């Protein structure tokens, strides 16, 4: 350690960075940055999350993209992918939101079932390769300017139909006063993919409430709802929208277990036989007592 410090002092080093690197499939040039632990959120006081991008000039100076005290928050750039990249679909789509003060250039490696007449929107097709399993891998190049939101689409067949598959699965917990229903919605589209899914429910099939769904992956959405314990049927409506704006609506209902009330009923016959048994027992005791007295 002393030898390292001696070298730093000799060459007038003012900053030392330690870290690691990843093989990068997105950026053409290396990105130098400092990232704080627990980097999500906007922090409190001096605990500033996010990352700080910098460059080193030919003269050795460090230039910070937004300044050392102004971090770039991780939620200022995100990508939502709407189609599973498994080679089963005939298209692909994703929404990119860039609130960073710099342009982002990257690539998508998309696996498709067919690639006969490829067209794209929001990106340029760079390369198409055939895979050993008979699928196609398409390389899409994307440039997203600062403060720009872009919808990227790729298709080998025109998307004319809404999502072709919508289904739910449930997990129900019964409490003393309420029933809690966890719902997973699976929605699939043959070409561009599913951009959004909404779920509404009703206990009387008249007034409706919305359920906030969390997107878990390209095809799976999850949510939770709670109804009074005495409700036996929950009606639902699912609306799935693909990246082309086409809508599929599904209606259904969820049957709940009837509320069980345990009570002990004492009927007249039970009371009658109980009295008979008591009288018989008393009579036996009297007979035994009298017999003993007579013998004496």
The string of pLDDT tens digits covering residues 136-166 is 999 999 999 999 999 999 999 999 999 999 9
Both tokens of 88, joined, read 């089963």
Task: Provide the 3-class DSSP secondary structure of residue 24.
Answer: coil
Q: Are the beta carbons of 269 and 276 closer than 8 angstroms?
A: no
The residue-averaged pLDDT of 102-120 equals 91
State the pLDDT at residue 293: 56
Cα–Cα distance for residue pair 234/115, rounded to 1 Å: 44
Residue whose structure tokens are 């109980």:
274
Q: Per-residue confidence at 81, pLDDT binned at 50, 70, 90?
A: very high
pLDDT over 70, % of the chain: 75
Cα–Cα distance for residue pair 128/149, rounded to 1 Å: 26
CA distances (Å), origin 217, targets 99, 171, 195, 240: 23, 19, 11, 15
Cα–Cα distance for residue pair 109/85, rounded to 1 Å: 9
Which pairing describes strands 91-98 and 77-81: parallel, antiparallel, or unpaired?
antiparallel
Cα–Cα distance for residue pair 194/244, rounded to 1 Å: 9
Q: Which domains does the chain have, with CATH numbers?
A: 1-72 (no CATH), 76-155 (2.60.40), 165-255 (2.60.40.1930)
The string of pLDDT tens digits covering residues 15-34 is 777 666 655 544 555 667 76
202 pLDDT exceeds 70? yes
Average pLDDT, whole number, for the chain? 83
Which has more pLDDT, 17 or 176? 176
Instruction: Annotate 226-252 with b (16+ C-beta within 10 A) or e (fewer).
Output: ebeeeeeebbbebbbbbbbebebebee
The string of pLDDT tens digits covering residues 251-275 is 999 999 876 544 444 445 455 556 6
The residue-averaged pLDDT of 201-206 equals 95
């Amino acid at each position: 350690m002393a030898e390292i410090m001696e070298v730093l002092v000799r060459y007038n080093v003012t900053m030392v960075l330690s870290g690691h690197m990843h093989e990068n499939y997105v950026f053409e040039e290396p990105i130098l940055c400092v990232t704080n632990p627990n980097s999500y959120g906007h922090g409190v006081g001096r605990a500033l999350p996010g990352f700080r991008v910098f460059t080193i000039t030919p003269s050795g100076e460090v230039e910070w993209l937004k300044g050392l005290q102004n971090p770039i928050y991780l939620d200022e750039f995100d990508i939502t992918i709407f189609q599973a990249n498994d080679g089963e679909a005939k298209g692909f789509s994703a929404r990119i939101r860039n609130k960073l003060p710099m342009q982002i250039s990257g690539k998508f490696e998309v696996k498709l079932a067919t690639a006969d007449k490829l067209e794209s929107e929001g990106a340029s097709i760079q390369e198409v390769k055939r895979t050993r399993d008979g699928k196609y891998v398409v390389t899409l190049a994307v440039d997203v300017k600062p403060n720009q939101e872009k919808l990227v689409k790729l298709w080998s067949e025109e998307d004319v139909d809404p999502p072709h598959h919508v289904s739910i699965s449930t997990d129900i917990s019964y409490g003393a006063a309420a029933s809690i229903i966890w719902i997973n919605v699976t929605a699939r589209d043959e070409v561009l993919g599913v951009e959004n899914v909404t779920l509404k429910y009703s206990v009387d099939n008249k007034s409706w409430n919305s359920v906030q769904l969390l997107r878990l992956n390209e095809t799976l959405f999850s949510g939770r709802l709670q109804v009074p314990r005495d409700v036996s049927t929950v009606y639902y409506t699912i609306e799935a929208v693909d990246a082309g704006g086409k809508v599929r609506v599904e209606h259904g209902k969820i049957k709940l277990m009837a509320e069980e009330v345990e009570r002990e009923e004492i009927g007249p016959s039970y009371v009658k036989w109980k009295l008979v048994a008591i009288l018989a027992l008393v009579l036996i005791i009297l007979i035994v007592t009298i017999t003993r007295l007579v013998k004496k």
